[in-house]
Every structure is written in structure tokens, then in C-alpha cells.
Structure 1
């Protein structure tokens, strides 16, 4: 088992890698204000939820959207 990451570490890093490659970072405008190099939180949640569902990290258990939101909040806070 030497050299192999823990399962939780593997899941965490694979979610982050997928998020970085799938979420569109671009210049956005909202209420006449410009925001360079950003993405929408709803898109991030969609990407994370889809990735978790497709890869079945937690078996056949359906992961609710609010759990994906919580995960994205944890990513943002870390």
C-alpha cells in the first residue's frame, strides 16, 4: 500500500482536478461591473455533482444537490 494515497485523498484530488478542467473561467459582467477570471458557483456545483454521480464514489447512493453545494463550499473555504 506504500505510495498509494488514501481513498479520501484520491477522491478529493480527483474532484478538484475535474473541477479545474471542466468549469469555464472567463470575464463576466453583472450589474454593470466587470469580474475577470471567474466562474459561476452553480456551474461548479453542476460539474461536481455530475462527476460524483458518474464515478460512483459512494456506490449507487444518489448524492443530493445540497451535498454538492456543501462540498463546493468546503473547497472554497480551504
Structure 2
């Protein structure tokens, strides 16, 4: 859920941004980062992962499932399919 429009509305009405951020459980720094149009590190990583998954899915012509995604995953610790038969 995007809480930033609510905080922006509160700010426009000259209410406390600090309190609005507390109510919405978002840091003020994240809110101001959003206002500047900057993306968080998490957003950038998620976008890169989404692009990778989309590419793997397209290469498999839409047939690749969880095992195909985990075996091509760029994240450490991933890549071993659970209950996969060896070989």
C-alpha cells in the first residue's frame, strides 16, 4: 500500500509530517526520499530480480516454474530445489 499520498496530503494541510509518518509506520527519510524521486536500494534490487525472472520465464517460453527460477537465482543461498531428484 502506498502511504505517501496520505502523508503528502497531511503536509499540504500544514499538519505534522513526523506524526503522519509515525501513523503510517514509515520513516521520514523514506518519505523525503520518495519526494525527491529516488528509489531505495531494495526497490532497485527487486527491479533487477524481476527483470531476471521475466527473462528466465521468456527463455523457457512460459514453462519454467519454481525450480527453474531458483536454479537461476542471483541470490546467495538460493539455487537448490527442495525435493529435486538428483541428476
Question: Where on the TM-score scale, by shorter chain, does this alignment land: which range?
Answer: 0.3 to 0.5
Structure with bigger strand share is 1
| Structure with larger Rg | 2
User: TM-score w.r.t. structure 2 length?
Assistant: 0.40
